[in-house]
Amino acid sequence: MNKRAFNFNAGPAALPLEVLQRAQAEFVDYKETGMSIMEMSHRGAVYESVHNEAQTRLLNLFGNPEGYKVLFLQGGASTQFAMIPLNLLTEGKTAGYVRTGSWADKAIKEAKLIGETFIAASSEESKFMSLPDLSNLSLPDHTAYLHLTSNETIGGTEFKEFPGTGSVPLIADMSSDILSRSFDLKSFGMVYAGAQKNLGPSGVTVVIAREELLQESPKHLPTIMRYDTHYKNNSLYNTPPSFAIYMVNEVLKWIEEQGGLAGIEQLNRKKAGILYDAIDQSGGFYKGCAAKDSRSLMNVTFRLASEELEKQFIKETGQAGFVGLKGHRSVGGLRASIYNAVPYEAISALVDFMDDFRKRNA
């Protein structure tokens, strides 16, 4: 095989090599069925066991808290921006949103189309480069839920702690940091994530929620947009993205092999640590974008003194086999997305490159 790229793509993103190789070995003939998993009925026992296994593995990684259900949906996290208020923001209620950047704003935009919302906290004054304090939130009695974005993929900020919200369900868009660290699922009513950053390939969205949030949707909602449809049918109301779900199951096995969430977290801290150290110890040559206490372990955003130098950095990293280091088009700069599957060696190679680039251009 040719050398693997040092893949720092923001999403779709790197997958564990072991997972790709296992999938390749099973690609044409899944467990001696004479077919690929892609060619099977989603109503057959073989596919259904993969589907159910992936749900069980996910809940196991979170310590199997009681009363939660996993859904596999389509349309990306972006569809959840609409499905959440459609299902949960009912007449007479209001939904609280934490404004932390681009992804939070997209979620807010959808909710506003559907019902009454309020901004519970915002970090706009820091141009979203820090995170708001959530320790003293005041939520009205008729709050349907509080929504936050655990990791802002574009700005590079990530909540370290989550607020207690009492009887108000806390909902998190975890698209870019799900399964990257331990957290207590029981403090959430719902978490959701498009799979293509930390869970597998694009095409499936994982929703993990307390069952009571899924069991009864407003009567007027179309069938496919209703959580209760997917809940009652175990995410098999219509044809699921079966190959993507199979891949998620393989990624979950791989996470188990890394020591579960605690093991992955340790590795992620080490990975992010060497990269932030390279930035902080560059004498100001590299400038981290996010405030130190808000820095993401998944998306490391930084800048150089000029856009010309950034262009040069992108060009040279490209020649050296690094992929995906350009910042999001809306903010510019540089970004290394270092999700679970990005190996330590890739980050270590980047740190070496950065050191060399600094010496040549400082």
Ligand X SMILES: *Cc1c(COP(=O)(O)O)cnc(C)c1O
Residues classed as catalytic: 103, 173, 197
Angle at 16 between CA 11 and CA 18, to 5 degrees: 155
Residue (of 269, 278, 255, 252) closest to 350 by Cα position: 278
Using CA atoms, how far residue 196 sits from 82, 220, 355, in Å, is 19, 32, 30
Residue 298 in contact with ligand X, rule: CB under 6 A: no
The answer to whether residue 180 forms part of the interface with ligand X (CB under 6 A) is no
Name the one range near ligand X by CB under 6 A: 118-126, 168-176, 307-315, 331-339: 168-176
Q: Is 191 in the site for ligand X (CB under 6 A)?
A: no
Contacts of 25 (CB under 8 A, 6+ apart): none
**The only residue of 71, 77, 245, 290 in contact with ligand X, by rule CB under 6 A:** 77
The correct pick among 62, 103, 254, 285 for binding ligand X (CB under 6 A) is: 103
CB-count burial class (<10 Å; 0-12, 13-18, 19+) for 96? buried
With binding defined as CB under 6 A, does residue 194 bind ligand X? yes
Cβ closest to ligand X, residue 74 vs residue 266: 74
Residue of 78, 258, 266, 348 interacting with ligand X (CB under 6 A): 78
Which residues in 333-352 contact ligand X (CB under 6 A)? none
Sheet holding 334-337, edge to edge: 287-288, 299-303, 334-337
DSSP-assigned letter for residue 97: E
Distance CA 252, CA 246 (A): 10
* Residue 11 or 169 with smaller CB distance to ligand X: 11
Binding segment for ligand X (CB under 6 A), chosen from 26-34, 73-81, 89-97, 251-259, is 73-81
Length reported for the chain = 362
Per-residue binder mask for ligand X (CB under 6 A), 127-166, x = binder: ----------------------x---x-------------
- Token digits for 352? 């070496």
76: contact with ligand X by CB under 6 A? yes
* Spatial distance between the Cα atoms of 157 and 296, rounded to a whole number of angstroms: 5
Q: How far is Cα 110 from Cα 245, in angstroms, rounded to an integer?
A: 27
Q: Is residue 175 near ligand X by the rule CB under 6 A?
A: yes
Span near ligand X by CB under 6 A; candidates 171-179, 239-247, 337-345, 352-360: 171-179
Q: How far is the CB of 252 from ligand X (least distance, A)?
A: 18
CB of 320 to ligand X, least distance (A): 26
d(CA 313, CA 335): 12
Cα separation, 91 vs 275, in Å, equals 47
- Name the minimum Å distance from CB 29 to ligand X: 31
Q: HSE on the CB side for 58, CA within 13 Å?
A: 29
Of 154 and 354, which CB lies nearer to ligand X in the complex structure?
A: 154
101 binds ligand X per the rule CB under 6 A: no
CB of 158 to ligand X, least distance (A): 10
* 324 contact partners, CB below 8 Å, separation of at least 6: 7, 8, 9, 10, 13, 336, 337
- For binding to ligand X (CB under 6 A), which residues are involved? 11, 76-78, 103, 149, 153, 173, 175-176, 194
